[in-house]
Amino acid sequence: MVRWILPAILAVALIITGIWGYSQYRLSRQYGVYMDNLYQKSFYEMVGSVGNIETQLSKLMISDDQGQNIMMLSEIWRHADNAQTNLGQLPLSHLSLERIQKFLNQLGDYCYYLIKKAGEGKPLTVEEMDNLRQLHNSCVRLNNDLRVLENRINEGGVKFEEIHLKGNRQADEVSEDIITRQFTKIEQVGMEYPRLIYDGPFSETVLQGKKVSLTGKAVTQAEANQIAVSFVGKDRVKEVKSSSEGKGDIETWGVYIETRDQESPIYVSVSKKGGKVINMVGDAGKQKARMSIEDARKQGQKLLEERGFPGMTPTYQQYYDGIAVINYAYEEDGIIFYPDLIKVKLSLEDGRLLGFEAMNYWIAHKERKLDEPKLSLEEAEKLVSGEMNIKSSRLAVIPTDSGGERLCYEFRGTFGNENFIVYIDAYTGEEADILKIIDTENGNLVL
């Protein structure tokens, strides 16, 4: 009897230990994932903030308005703070981070000091502008190094524990550079996400809290299906089915369409009231780029005209994988109306319509009666900073953060080889906005 009780107990104990060991292992793996996620988040937040700092610093170079200056300096200050906090959470040795920390800290403090000055009505002196220029240059370098690090993380899917070893070396290179910056006397530091301008300027503000007011009679699902078919193009359509209804700011019928020219289906949303096409979503896979961007812009215009959207002019575009996404705004009497925005996605292979987005247009487009501008073009031009080289100008209506609209003179120009757009209010002469355009190989990005 005694002989098999002992091994039995031991066996049970072994099994229990095994189960416990395995569950501990699983738990520790969970924690590992959790920690890695925290590091990733901190890293991305920091990179995002440094990018924002760089953009704001460059805009500061050509801003001349007290209000705008305070805003931009505040943004930099906040972002510097955010970047620092997140930097501090990364598993890199204290020494290698110390200098980047110092840079961010001093930048934040300097901006805080400048904000106070601006609040007292004192503009940036020549010396301060030079300092900001130097800071901007340092920031560009830091930003570029961070991008390299970010790409490495994305490509290799490297975990942060490994970064711990590699990152140290990278970080050291970065901080050496920053040591040679001279910081002049620098005195003694929450977040609104910069407008999501990935999809062209002014596309977010319009939507906030606005209702789409459509006119026209109500349509049925069947009618919506027909509308979607003619929108996509009768000869392209192979099969049409009803899809999920949409509710939200607007009620829509969903239409599912299979076409002869691509594998992936297309989904079209048609408003229940008025039968207007709100959007079209589809993926055609990689395309061969056979058209030039210029031709693509014209093609998009043609597609829009065919579908009942005349007078739309292309503003910004992005292209990748042989696909072009082009923003169109309504133009009339030489004034461009940015709130009336439609996005067109088309193939650069055969120019066919791949996607369509018109929510902004349906919300904002209306008959407008605008008063004559109080300032002439020449007067407005004088109010733009002398630092900027103006290349062209026109009248434009832009949306405001509070959901309204503003008539402005739009001045496009360059500063230090970079492209900027400055908007001067046509009635008050205030600087309404400054945008920075970045031409990448994928089109323009607006920040």
Partner 1 sequence: MRNKKIRLMIVVVLTAFICSGMILHDYLEKRKMIETALYWGSTGEKVMEVQRKLKQWGYYDGEVDGIYGSKTFEAVKNFQRKHGLKVDGIVGEQTAAAIGIRLDGQAAAYQPSRDGGGNRGDIYLLARLVHGEARGEPYIGKVAVAAVVLNRVKDPRFPNTIAGVIYQPLAFTAVSDGQINLTPDEESLRAARDAMNGWDPTYGALYYYNPAIATSKWIYSRPVHLRIGKHVFAK
Contact window for partner 1 (CB under 8 A) among 28-36, 163-171, 289-297, 389-397: 28-36
Find the shortest distance in angstroms from Cβ 126 to partner 1: 4
Both tokens of 410, joined, read 């739009």
Find the shortest distance in angstroms from Cβ 421 to partner 1: 15
343 binds partner 1 (CB under 8 A): yes
Find the shortest distance in angstroms from Cβ 316 to partner 1: 10
Q: Which is nearer to partner 1, 14 or 267 (CB)?
A: 267
Find the shortest distance in angstroms from Cβ 87 to partner 1: 14
CA 7 from centroid of its chain's CA atoms:
66
250 binds partner 1 (CB under 8 A): yes
Contact window for partner 1 (CB under 8 A) among 102-110, 135-143, 215-223, 394-402: 135-143
282 binds partner 1 (CB under 8 A): yes
Q: Which is nearer to partner 1, 129 or 335 (CB)?
A: 129
Find the shortest distance in angstroms from Cβ 95 to partner 1: 26
Figure out which of the listed residues 2, 157, 234, 260 binds partner 1, where binding follows CB under 8 A.
Answer: 157
- SS3 for the chain is CHHHHHHHHHHHHHHHHHHHHHHHHHHHHHHHHHHHHHHHHHHHHHHHHHHHHHHHHHHHHHCCCHHHHHHHHHHHHHHHHHHHHHHCCCCCCHHHHHHHHHHHHHHHHHHHHHHHHHHCCCCCCHHHHHHHHHHHHHHHHHHHHHHHHHHHHHHHCCCHHHHHHHHHHHHHHHHHHHHCCCCCCCCCCCCCCCCCHHHCCCCCHHHCCCCCCCCCCECCHHHHHHHHHHHHCHHHEEEEEEEEEECCCCCEEEEEEEECCCCCCEEEEEECECCCEEEEEECCCCCCCCCCHHHHHHHHHHHHHHCCCCCEEEEEEEEECCEEEEEEEEEECCEEEEEEEEEEEEECCCCCEEEEECHHHHHHCCCCCCCCCCCCHHHHHHCCCCCCEEEEEEEEEEECCCCCEEEEEEEEEEECCEEEEEEEECCCCCEEEEEEEEEECCEEEEC
Figure out which of the listed residues 108, 167, 254, 275 binds partner 1, where binding follows CB under 8 A.
Answer: 254
340 binds partner 1 (CB under 8 A): no
Figure out which of the listed residues 26, 147, 241, 290 binds partner 1, where binding follows CB under 8 A.
Answer: 147
What string marks each residue from 378 to 407 as x (binds partner 1 by CB under 8 A) or -?
-x--xx--xx--------------------
User: Residue 340 in contact with residue 405, Cβ under 8 Å?
Assistant: no
428 binds partner 1 (CB under 8 A): no
246 binds partner 1 (CB under 8 A): yes
Figure out which of the listed residues 9, 25, 27, 150 binds partner 1, where binding follows CB under 8 A.
Answer: 150
198 binds partner 1 (CB under 8 A): yes
Interface with partner 1: number of residues (CB under 8 A) = 99
Both tokens of 130, joined, read 């030079």
Contact window for partner 1 (CB under 8 A) among 139-147, 228-236, 330-338, 397-405: 139-147
Figure out which of the listed residues 11, 16, 18, 130 binds partner 1, where binding follows CB under 8 A.
Answer: 130
**Binding residues among 44-103 for partner 1 as defined by CB under 8 A:** 44-45, 47-48, 51-52, 54-55, 58, 61, 64-66
Contact window for partner 1 (CB under 8 A) among 108-116, 152-160, 178-186, 228-236: 152-160
